[in-house]
Amino acid sequence: MAEDTTLRPTQDYPGAEQLAKREELVRELPTDSPYETQTAVQTAQGVACPFCGTVNDADAVFCLACGKPLRMGACPNCGSEIDPDADFCEVCHHYIKSDVCSFCGALLTGAEAYCPECGSPRGGIVCPTCRTLNDFAFCKQCGTPLTEEARQLQEELRQRPDYQELTRLAREYEDLTLQVPFSSERDYVRDQRNQKLREHVLMLLAQDKGDPNPPPAPPVPHRMSKEELQKQKEDRLQKLSEILDSMALPPVPSPVKARNYAMAQKPIGVRLAWVCNYKQALHSSPCGCAKPQLGGKWVILGKNSKTEIKDDKQ
């Protein structure tokens, strides 16, 4: 009878029995970890946030934890991914809501050629000042109000004390930017001599006409040193920034109303940009923001800051 040479782990070498038991336990373990199994069950019952991973109810639109949209929409014009509640595509720069008037915010059926509330054409309005085609009540290029409601809103805001102070400071800053500082004491002495020369010439002309009381010569604008002029400009800019901060637009329900209000309060005379609360991005105006209803504010642009504006690259 032949000898049985089959390997028997429990008999042929020390520790073989323990090894066989370990292999049996490994075969009985589940392929997924408890955490992975639980996550799979939760995901099947809800929607996982693509930003933070939180599982939300199946019919949720925004994440309960971080507030970001759970499902992104697509621009009907260019197909770019956009937030589901955005009414403007920041990629192709088109208004994309067919059921809301972009000029006044009235609800539409989608078939009207003109808004039944404000009468604005669905195809846009050409600005009479700069000839830019606009989807909104204010010109995105020059700020001209294009509808009667926009003109009334602008006139109303211009009566407010904070806007009037803003306009005054902006005008003073603009005047300062046009001034040429003197670089030496010689420039200052020359200005004084020129003023006296003008007064003398006016007096001689008056004497030739027999006028004993010649009109005074118009005063020469006070010229400052470069340092003094810069200090005056910085002071105006600081005060302008403080007023603009106090006029920041809080979140509102309607993106159309938010754009109109922000454009109506925009001062003239200084280079500004709109900082949105949506992405903290710089826009040339709220007309270039997809969600201005989240609020924002006007800020004064410094030197070489134009390249930072998001919607300048159209």
Task: Tell me the CA distances in angstroms from 165 to 50, 137, 205, 241, 303, one per residue in order.
Answer: 46, 25, 42, 12, 24
Indicate yes or no: pTM above 0.85.
Answer: no
Cβ–Cβ < 8 Å for 265, 163: yes
Phi and psi angles of residue 202, each rounded to the nearest 5 degrees, phi first: -65, -35
Of the candidates 98, 96, 148, 158, the one whose C-alpha atom is nearest the C-alpha of residue 125 is: 148
Find out whether 289 and 301 touch, Cβ atoms under 8 Å.
Answer: no
- Could you tell me how many residues make up the chain? 314
Burial (CB count within 10 angstroms: exposed 0-12, middle 13-18, buried 19+), residue 314 = exposed
Q: Which two tokens mark 40? A: 């799979």
Secondary structure (3-state) at 153:
helix
Q: Where are the domains of the chain?
A: 7-71
DSSP-assigned letter for residue 288: G
Query: What's the confidence (pLDDT) of residue 250?
Result: 94
- Could you tell me which residues are beta bridge partners of residue 88? 95
**Reduced DSSP (H G I as helix, E B as strand, rest coil) percent helix, strand, coil of the chain, to 5:** 40, 15, 45
- pLDDT at res. 179: 82
Token pair 């209803």 in the structure block, residue = 293
Helix (H, G, I), strand (E, B) or coil at 201: helix
Exposed/middle/buried for 158, CB within 10 Å: 0-12, 13-18, 19+? middle
Q: Tens of pLDDT along the chain (314 residues)?
A: 454 444 444 444 444 554 455 455 445 544 444 434 444 444 456 888 877 888 888 878 778 888 777 777 889 999 998 888 899 999 999 999 999 999 999 999 878 899 999 999 998 999 999 999 999 999 999 999 999 999 999 999 999 999 999 999 999 998 888 887 776 667 667 767 776 777 777 778 777 777 777 666 566 556 778 888 999 999 999 999 999 999 999 999 999 999 999 999 998 878 899 999 998 999 999 999 999 999 999 999 865 555 567 665 44
Give dist(CA 191, CA 233) in Å, integer: 22
Q: What tokens does 94 get?
A: 């088109």
